[in-house]
Amino acid sequence: MLPGELSNRTTRAFLTSTAAAALFLALACGGGGGGGGPTAPPAPNPQAVTVELSEHSFSPKSITIQPGETVAWVMRGSDPTHTVTALNGAFDSGAVFTASGATFRRTFSAAEGGQTFEYRCQAHAACCNMRGSVRVGADAPPPGPGY
């Protein structure tokens, strides 16, 4: 055996074992190619249309949204007696507006398209005309007087 032969055998053995380890990792980890095609992006998180409750009003008072959109009523005042109550009974926030920033959310479905939802604050509708409306779709009828 010549002095350089041992070095070549060692190098060859090292390269062979390295190649075998790389092949094993590629097969065990899926090879990085995926094979399943591109991954679909996550569904978008729709943002809510915001209506603010101040001391005795909704702002904006009347909004138009598309079916599937969400409305978020957000307390900006300090009166904890406010509610968001639909006249037809479709939704009622209850007593959630206990502090500034408190929020009530409602998503309007495709089945509700073409409808107008008039709502009021139970505590301030009569005294302060605290009323509002949500039109679901451009073809929804306009709200009644005062909404």
Give me the phi and psi of 93, to 5 degrees please. Answer: -70, -25
Average pLDDT over residues 50-77: 96
Domain count of the fold of the chain: 2
Same domain, 24 and 53: no
Are 83 and 115 found together in one domain? yes
State residue 146's pLDDT score: 87
Q: Are residues 13 and 59 in the same domain?
A: no
* 54 & 101 share domain: yes
Give the CA distances from residue 87 to residues 6, 28, 118, 127, in Å, rounded to whole numbers and listed in that order: 92, 62, 6, 17
What does the pLDDT read at residue 78?
87
Token pair 């603010």 is found at 52
CB 98 within 8 A of CB 104: no
**H helix or E strand, kind and range, residue 11:** helix 3-28
Helix, strand, or coil here: 3? helix
Q: Is 39 a member of any domain?
A: no
Structural domain contains residue 98 = yes
Q: Is residue 79 part of a domain?
A: yes
The residue among 46 and 93 whose pLDDT is bigger is: 93
Give dist(CA 84, CA 120) in Å, integer.
Answer: 6
Task: Specify whether 95 is located in the same domain as 26.
Answer: no
Residue 2 in this model has a pLDDT that exceeds 70: no
- Same-domain status, 17 and 71: no
Which domain does 74 fall in, by range? 49-136
Same domain, 76 and 125: yes
Percent of the chain with pLDDT over 90: 64
The identity of residue 118, as a single letter, is E
* Residues 14-61 pLDDT 10s: 444 444 444 444 444 444 444 444 444 444 445 899 999 998 999 999
28 shares a domain with 53: no
pLDDT of 79 over the 50 cut: yes
The pLDDT of residue 46 is: 59
Predicted pLDDT at 9: 53
User: Residue 128 has which token pair?
Assistant: 């302060």
Where would I find the H helices in 29-141? 125-128
Domain harbouring 84, CATH code = 2.60.40.420
Would 41 be classed as within a structural domain?
no
Residues 25 and 97 in one domain: no
Average pLDDT over residues 66-85: 95
